């Protein structure tokens, strides 16, 4: 049976921002639709309206000509609209099975049979009786998908589903989505990743600043044309100039080991590398292979042997992050809102946070607010942070703006080495471009970067040397121009 | 010295009796906390239950009205807490503390007229069977209905949380109110219900003290038991069966240290009085030290306000 979903003149206005401006769209089953846009373009608002989480100010939704009243998530479920959110809606401490039966009225046994049948059909394998917090991100997403499939939905909406997945999990997901589509489920796929749209979808709708910009067939588009539609201007193509690398060694890591007591962490085994001035050393790998432990050891959140890290001819392995900063190291952690900035504190307060000694932000233990604010304003304008209110709480900045702010803050001391961990994770194209440009500039000023990233394209674009981390071990270090993404992929899988 | 075996039975029974109010209040608070609400007003709700029960018993003469009235009083005062924290989104900790202060104050005010009035005898069950079995007889038989209910409650609570749909929903709300709301669960309604249930159990615990355990009204007669009940919930890592163990240890040491004081053991009285608190916490910490299990049973959203934005 054919499913037809129609969004008609939907408008949603928030104070100070029109999230959806008179959006009309039509979808038919049998196809996979992409809803493309940068962060803040209004695509999440639109799908939240479709799933009943947000009620629009104006406009109507029709499913097979029936006007739907979606006042709660329950209404969407009743009308066979399933939704997998970007941030999982799972109960971490409950078991997988408990997560799946919570919204079902049927008997436990019959639901269990249904789940088993679904898992068999789509080749999922998940232990139903372990708590969700023990699952990988990819497995959690499968649980979300199963939760939708139990209700045999007509429409399945996926909101930025690949932002937490490895490449292999992504291709598994695409296979499943194509299967669902063949079985007549209408699929709406929300993303800002152009490559995925080209790979997976049949039709694409582009949104920008709350407005629908275009609807077109994928076969008539390419990555550049979509990028330009999405950003609304022609994007610069960034390329790193091949600079002559000095032979002046800045940091040297020798026989670095870390054994964790936490079974969920990865042990680091015998890590050795060195980075010269002006060089960018990239570390690739599938997430969870020791990257976060390595970042913590390098930044001083985890203390190691004094002699295992040599920086500027000093042994610093046993120093705290603050002390390492005094030696002119700077850090940009993966989790922007938990590790890099304090969400409830204002922008200028966050700027002041990591510069206790090397700045003039504090006089005799008192805060020099004017100095900090002055400097915050400078960061905001120098690094293109899209706000003019330094009193704003950091949690209200978008990911891209927050990342720019953090990089700007870290560069206050003009550090010799910046260690970044997934600096562009979850950002839109415009922000990614900006961060990449900034990182290249740092190298051009003869400063060094250690870039730990799960994004292979990014690593190939920015690095001079690349290594792959797998199960806490580094592969041999290669020159970036000898490496291809295929080769990295093989090493990331653990082959030699 | 020959100790009568029935005497040991009586001591154990008295330990169990002193554990009853702790079990009742803790199991109620456990449900509240499992839904993500931290209600520090247990002491206040208990003392309100105690004075309501005693006053209603004296005025109406009906034990049934008194018991249910005490529970209703617990519900009413917890409704204030629920309205403040769930509807007006106030801070759980501050509101709970205020509730306790309010409860102690208002109970003292109402209680003025009831000081010195003797209580009524509360009917006990199976009294005739007390002497039929040595040791076990006095432990098993001759107690009030509330006593039996209290010792069944941890098992009922455990079953409710693990096996029933509503129990699952309560745990889900405590784990992630946002996800629960997105699943179409009415988070505020669930939390209201859990808070009110906790109030009812605290009220019953208070009534047990003033009507059965020591049938009279004394100002501030709960004597910090509400706080112990709160501590039991946390140190048991939200596990009803461990609450039972903790309450028994606490009750046991309280009774034993009384006897030790009476015999004249040469240990400073202050230390003896402090002993139950220290030992209970140590034991519960030791039996609950599995960090993975703590992570699994701690309600992730405990004490955090949930505000549905639209």
Where in chain A are the domains?
4-231, 249-492
pLDDT at A383: 84
Interchain CB distance below 8 Å, B175 and A92? yes
Q: How far apart are CA B106 and CA B110, in angstroms?
A: 6
Interchain CB distance below 8 Å, B183 and A103? yes
The yes-or-no answer to whether A4-231 and A249-492 have a common fold is yes
Tokens 């009035």 sit on residue: B117
Q: What is the pLDDT of residues B155-172, one digit of tens each?
A: 999 999 999 999 999 999
pTM higher than 0.95 for the full model?
no
CA angle, A271 then A276 then A278, to 5°: 130
Long-range (24+ apart) CB contacts under 8 A made by B138-141 are B138/B6, B138/B9, B138/B10, B138/B12, B138/B13, B139/B9, B139/B12, B139/B13, B139/B16
pLDDT at B77: 96
Q: Is the CB of residue A151 less than 8 Å from the CB of residue A108?
A: no
Nearest CA in chain A to B299: A93
Q: What is the mean pLDDT of residues B63-91?
A: 96
Of B165, B179, B297, the CB nearest to A89: B179
pLDDT tier, B3 (very low <50, low <70, confident <90, very high otherwise): low
Beta bridge partners of A306: none
CA atoms within 13 A on the CB side of B19: 30
Of A312-316, A336-340, B233-237, B298-302, the one with minimum mean pLDDT is A336-340
The DSSP secondary structure of B60-125, one letter per residue, reads H--HHHHHHHHHHHHHHHHHHHHIIIIIS---HHHHHHHHHHHHHHHHHHHHGGGTT---PPPP-B
Query: For the purposes of burial, counting CB atoms within 10 Å of the CB of B189, is it exposed (0-12), middle (13-18) or buried (19 or more)?
Result: exposed
Interchain CB distance below 8 Å, B179 and A53? no
Q: Is the CB of residue A185 less than 8 Å from the CB of residue A29?
A: yes
Interchain CB distance below 8 Å, A72 and B184? yes
Q: Is B181 on the interface with A (CB under 8 A)?
A: yes
Nearest CA in chain A to B177: A91
Q: Chain A partners of B300 at a C-beta cutoff of 8 Å?
A: 92-93
Q: How many domains does chain B have?
A: 1
**Is a pLDDT exceeding 60 seen at residue B128?**
yes
Average pLDDT score, chain B = 91
Say if B308 falls within a structural domain: no
DSSP one-letter code for A37: -
Q: What is the pLDDT of residues A217-257, one digit of tens each?
A: 999 988 888 888 887 766 666 667 666 667 788 999 999 99
pLDDT at B273: 82
Give the residue among A384, A394, A452, A385 at the shortest CA–CA distance from A418: A452
Q: Is the CB of residue A286 less than 8 Å from the CB of residue A274?
A: no
Query: For the purposes of burial, counting CB atoms within 10 Å of the CB of B278, is it exposed (0-12), middle (13-18) or buried (19 or more)?
Result: exposed
Domain around B207: 5-297
Give the residue among B207, B197, B190 at the shortest CA–CA distance from B78: B197
* Dihedral pair phi/psi, residue A51, rounded to 5°: -100, 10
Of A51, A55, A131, the CB nearest to B310: A55
Q: How far apart are CA A5 and CA A63, in angstroms?
A: 5
CA angle, B43 then B44 then B48, to 5°: 115
Q: Is the CB of residue B298 less than 8 Å from the CB of residue B237?
A: yes
Return the CATH number at B237: 1.10.3470
Nearest CA in chain A to B167: A102
How far away is chain A from the Cα of B42, in angstroms, using its nearest Cα? 26
Query: For the purposes of burial, counting CB atoms within 10 Å of the CB of A350, is it exposed (0-12), middle (13-18) or buried (19 or more)?
Result: buried
Say if B256 falls within a structural domain: yes
Of A85, A94, A131, the CB nearest to B182: A85
Q: What is the pLDDT of residues A12-61, one digit of tens each?
A: 988 767 889 999 999 999 899 999 887 778 888 899 899 888 899 999 99
Q: What is the mean pLDDT of residues A169-198?
A: 90
Structure tokens at A100: 């799946």
Average pLDDT score, chain A = 86
Say if B306 falls within a structural domain: no
Interchain CB distance below 8 Å, A103 and B296? no
Interchain CB distance below 8 Å, B180 and A98? no
pLDDT at A496: 62
Say if B304 falls within a structural domain: no
pLDDT tier, A379 (very low <50, low <70, confident <90, very high otherwise): confident
CA atoms within 13 A on the CB side of A328: 15
How far away is chain B from the Cα of A89, in angstroms, using its nearest Cα? 4
Q: Which residue has the higher pLDDT, B132 or B141?
A: B141
CA angle, A197 then A202 then A208, to 5°: 50
Q: How far apart are CA A215 and CA A40, in angstroms?
A: 19
Q: Is B176 on the interface with A (CB under 8 A)?
A: yes
Interchain CB distance below 8 Å, A89 and B175? no
pLDDT at A229: 84
**For helices B269-287 and B240-263, angle between their N-to-C axes, nearest 10 degrees:** 160
Say if B225 falls within a structural domain: yes
Q: Is B87 on the interface with A (CB under 8 A)?
A: no
Of B180, B300, B310, the CB nearest to A93: B300
Structure tokens at A340: 């890099």
Structure tokens at A293: 């432990």
DSSP one-letter code for B87: I
Q: How far apart are CA A372 and CA A391, in angstroms?
A: 12
Tokens 């002055």 sit on residue: A374
pLDDT tier, A154 (very low <50, low <70, confident <90, very high otherwise): very high
> Would you say the C-alpha torsion A194, A195, A198, A203 has a positive or negative sign?
negative
Tokens 């080209």 sit on residue: A198
Q: Chain B partners of A131 at a C-beta cutoff of 8 Å?
A: 296
The ipTM value here is 0.82
**For helices A399-410 and A429-444, angle between their N-to-C axes, nearest 10 degrees:** 10
Q: Is the CB of residue B158 less than 8 Å from the CB of residue B31?
A: no
Structure tokens at A66: 């029936």
Q: Is the CB of residue B238 less than 8 Å from the CB of residue B297?
A: yes
Nearest CA in chain B to A55: B310
Tokens 């402090």 sit on residue: B274
Nearest CA in chain B to A99: B172
Share of residues in chain A with pLDDT > 70 (%): 95
pLDDT tier, A384 (very low <50, low <70, confident <90, very high otherwise): confident
Structure tokens at B92: 């759980």
Q: What is the pLDDT of residues B5-50, one digit of tens each?
A: 778 888 899 999 999 999 999 999 999 999 999 999 999 999 999 9
Q: What is the pLDDT of residues A293-330, one digit of tens each?
A: 999 999 998 988 889 999 998 999 999 888 888 888 99
Interchain CB distance below 8 Å, B184 and A73? yes
pLDDT at B310: 42
Q: Chain B partners of A103 at a C-beta cutoff of 8 Å?
A: 183-185
In angstroms, what CA-CA distances link A262 with A259, A267, A301, B156, B291?
9, 10, 15, 35, 10
Interchain CB distance below 8 Å, B180 and A91? yes
Say if B310 falls within a structural domain: no
Nearest CA in chain A to B300: A93
Q: Is the CB of residue A268 less than 8 Å from the CB of residue A294?
A: yes
Q: Chain A partners of B176 at a C-beta cutoff of 8 Å?
A: 89-92
Structure tokens at A255: 């026989």
Beta bridge partners of A186: A155
End-to-end CA distance of chain B: 74
Distance of CA B222 to the CA centre of its chain: 11
pLDDT at A263: 66
Q: Look up the CATH number of domain A4-231.
A: 3.40.50.300
Q: Look up the CATH number of domain A249-492.
A: 3.40.50.300
Tokens 């934005």 sit on residue: B309
Q: Report the residue count for chain B.
A: 310
Of A116-125, A329-338, B58-67, B186-195, the one with minimum mean pLDDT is A329-338
């Amino acid at each position: 049976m054919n499913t037809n979903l129609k969004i008609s003149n939907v408008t949603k206005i928030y104070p100070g921002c029109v999230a959806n401006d008179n959006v009309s769209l039509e979808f038919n089953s049998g196809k996979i639709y992409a809803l493309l846009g940068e962060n803040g373009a209004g695509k999440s608002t639109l799908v939240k309206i479709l799933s009943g989480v947000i009620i629009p100010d104006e406009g109507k939704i029709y499913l097979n000509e029936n006007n739907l009243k979606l006042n709660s998530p329950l209404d969407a479920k009743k009308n066979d609209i399933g939704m997998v959110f970007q941030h999982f809606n799972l109960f971490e401490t409950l078991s997988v099975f408990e997560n799946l039966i919570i919204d079902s009225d049927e008997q436990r046994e019959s639901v269990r049979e249904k789940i088993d049948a679904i898992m068999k059909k789509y080749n999922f394998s998940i232990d139903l009786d372990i708590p969700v917090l023990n699952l990988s991100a990819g497995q959690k997403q499968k649980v979300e998908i199963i939760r939708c499939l139990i209700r045999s939905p007509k429409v399945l909406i996926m909101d930025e589903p690949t932002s937490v997945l490895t490449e292999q999990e992504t291709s598994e997901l695409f296979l499943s989505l194509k299967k669902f589509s063949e079985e007549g489920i209408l699929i709406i796929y929300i993303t800002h990743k152009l490559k995925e749209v080209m790979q997976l979808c049949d039709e694409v709708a582009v949104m920008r600043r709350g407005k629908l910009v275009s609807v077109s067939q994928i076969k008539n588009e390419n990555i550049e044309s979509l990028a330009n539609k999405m950003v609304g201007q022609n994007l610069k193509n960034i390329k790193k100039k091949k600079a002559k690398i000095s032979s002046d060694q800045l940091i040297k890591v020798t026989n670095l080991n870390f054994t964790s007591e936490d079974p969920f962490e990865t042990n680091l085994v015998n890590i050795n590398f060195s980075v010269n001035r002006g060089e960018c050393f990239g570390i690739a790998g599938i997430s969870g292979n020791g990257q976060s432990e390595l970042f913590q050891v390098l930044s001083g959140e985890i203390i190691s042997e004094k002699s295992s890290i040599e920086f500027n001819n000093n042994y610093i392995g046993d120093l705290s992050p603050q002390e390492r900063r005094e030696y002119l190291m700077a850090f940009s952690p993966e989790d922007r809102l938990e590790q890099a900035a304090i969400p409830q504190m204002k922008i200028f307060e966050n700027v002041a946070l990591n510069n206790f000694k090397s700045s003039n932000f504090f006089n005799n233990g008192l805060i020099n607010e004017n100095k900090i604010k002055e400097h915050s304003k400078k960061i905001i304008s120098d690094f293109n942070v899209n706000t003019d209110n330094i009193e704003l709480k950091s949690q209200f900045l978008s990911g891209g703006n927050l990342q720019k702010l953090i990089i700007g803050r870290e560069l206050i001391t003009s550090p010799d080495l910046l260690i970044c961990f997934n600096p562009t994770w979850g950002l839109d194209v415009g922000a990614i471009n900006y961060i990449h440009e900034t990182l290249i500039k740092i190298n051009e000023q003869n400063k060094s970067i250690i870039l730990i990233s799960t994004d292979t394209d990014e690593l190939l674009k920015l690095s001079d040397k690349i290594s792959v981390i797998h199960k806490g071990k580094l592969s041999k270090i290669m020159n970036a121009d000898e490496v291809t993404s295929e080769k990295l992929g093989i090493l990331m899988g653990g082959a030699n | 010295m020959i100790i009568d075996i029935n005497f040991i039975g009586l001591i154990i029974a008295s330990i169990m009796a002193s554990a009853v109010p702790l079990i009742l209040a803790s199991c109620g608070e456990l449900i509240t906390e499992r839904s993500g609400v931290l209600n520090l007003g247990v002491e206040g709700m208990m003392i309100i239950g105690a004075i309501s029960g005693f006053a209603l018993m004296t005025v109406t003469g009906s034990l049934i009205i008194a018991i249910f009235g005490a529970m209703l009083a617990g519900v009413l005062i917890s409704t204030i807490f629920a309205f403040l924290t769930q509807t007006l989104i106030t801070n759980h900790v501050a509101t709970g503390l205020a509730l306790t202060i309010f409860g102690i104050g208002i109970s003292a005010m109402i209680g003025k007229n009831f000081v010195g009035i003797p209580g009524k005898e509360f009917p006990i069950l199976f009294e005739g069977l007390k002497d039929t079995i040595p040791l076990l007889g006095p432990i098993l038989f001759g107690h009030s209905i509330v006593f039996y209910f209290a010792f069944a409650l941890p098992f009922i609570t455990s079953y409710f949380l693990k096996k029933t749909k509503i129990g699952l929903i309560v745990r889900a709300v405590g784990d992630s109110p946002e996800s629960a709301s997105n699943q179409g669960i009415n988070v505020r309604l669930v939390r209201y219900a859990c808070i009110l249930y906790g109030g009812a159990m605290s009220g019953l615990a208070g009534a047990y003290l003033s009507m059965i355990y020591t049938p009279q009204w004394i100002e501030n007669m709960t004597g910090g038991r509400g706080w112990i009940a709160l501590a039991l919930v946390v140190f048991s890592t939200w596990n009803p069966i461990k609450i039972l163990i903790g309450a028994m240890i606490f009750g046991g040491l309280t009774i034993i240290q009384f006897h030790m004081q009476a015999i004249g053991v040469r240990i400073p009285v202050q230390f003896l009085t402090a002993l139950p608190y220290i030992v209970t916490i140590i034991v519960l910490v030791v039996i609950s030290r599995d960090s993975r299990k703590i992570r699994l049973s701690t309600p992730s959203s405990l004490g955090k306000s949930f505000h549905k934005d639209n």
